[in-house]
Copies of this chain bind each other. A is one copy, B any other.
Amino acid sequence: MATANPTGDASNNPLDWKRIVEAHERIRARIHRTPVLTSESLNEMAGAELFFKCENVQKTGSFKIRGATNAIFSLTGEEARQGVVTHSSGNHAAAVACAARWRGVGAYIVMPKNAPGVKCRAVESYGGKITFCEPNVTARAETAARIQAEIGAAMVHPYDDDRIIAGQATSAKELLEEVPDLEAVLAPVSGGGLLSGTCLGAKGLRAEIKVYGCEPARADDAYRSLRSGKLQALETSDTIADGLRASLAPRTFAILRRHVAGILLVSEEEIVAAMKLVWERLKSVIEPSSAVALAPVLRRGGLREMGFGDGARPKIGVILSGGNVELKW
């Protein structure tokens, strides 16, 4: 039964390398192996060799399809029979709707009633059934729990789920397979699914690699949580990086405490400047949340924050998490 195992840890094993490899096998034929791009001009600006993992061109326009596909195709036929349910106003919503369609089951998506129209249309385009709720965390969780109970749909949490984390880990795994001698990898952090997956996926192939999370200063709960050693709430999240407005869960916090080298905070101005550079130099349409992972490398002293000495010219991977942005034309 879906409700019997709300954490998604079907096997009750710790999230080890074997489960990431299995996740990759499970999703490989359904998703894109996304390209890794480089830019000499960005390298020059950063004083580093940068390798951009382009999840913005992933199916549904973000890395979220990796975790959603792994979770939904991990369900038994019995578990999947009544469909899946989640709550999200963003990329996870579209990913769950898409992966559920591939599996041939219904997707029930709880979205806050102020969710942007473009995100709702994406969910609908994959056949997802939207239930609107009040725009707050409690209403979202309650509405999803009600659908889960009434319909018997299986819960696919955006990040507090080992199957999701194992799926998100495959992006860093592919990056390290392609560039095995990276010294550091940077990824944005919100609920921590991508960042904890990046820790596990990268360190599984190169134990000594340093993984940094990048976070808007205006939504700095991961920074405060890791600093204090206690899960901190996110009180305000007034940032242009609309994908980074969630906060860590116990499961992701535990992985990050063990594996992450640090959290780097960036300003709104740094996010916008980094986003523009990626559009101009990499010719890649990314959303603001993706730019958060590049911003620290570009600032004066950024490499030193990561422990690199002057003139080191380190090889650094940057996960460009998604490209879903409304184009004003």
Binding site for B on A (CB under 8 A): 32, 35, 37-38, 40-41, 54, 56-57, 59, 61, 125, 276, 279-280, 282-286, 323, 327, 329
Contacts and interface: CB of A to CB of B under 8 A. Distances in A.
Copies per complex of this chain: 2
B59 A40 contact: yes
Given A276-B329, A329-B276, A283 B323 contact: yes
Given A35-B37, A276-B329, A283-B284, 19 more contacts: A32-B38, A35-B35, A37-B57, A40-B59, A41-B125, A54-B283, A56-B283, A57-B282, A57-B284, A61-B283, A276-B327, A279-B285, A279-B327, A280-B285, A280-B327, A283-B285, A283-B286, A284-B284, A284-B285
A327 B40 CA distance: 20
Contacts of A125: 41
Nearest to A280: B327
A68 B280 CA distance: 22
Contacts of A279: 285, 327
A312 B323 CA distance: 31
Contacts of A56: 283
Nearest to A98: B40
Contacts of A41: 125
Nearest to A39: B57
Contacts of A323: 283
Contacts of A57: 37, 282-284
A282 B286 CA distance: 11
A269 to B, nearest CB: 13
Contacts of A37: 35, 57
A23 to B, nearest CB: 22
22 contacts: A32-B38, A35-B35, A37-B57, A40-B59, A41-B125, A54-B283, A56-B283, A57-B282, A57-B283, A57-B284, A61-B283, A276-B327, A276-B329, A279-B285, A279-B327, A280-B285, A280-B327, A283-B284, A283-B285, A283-B286, A283-B323, A284-B284
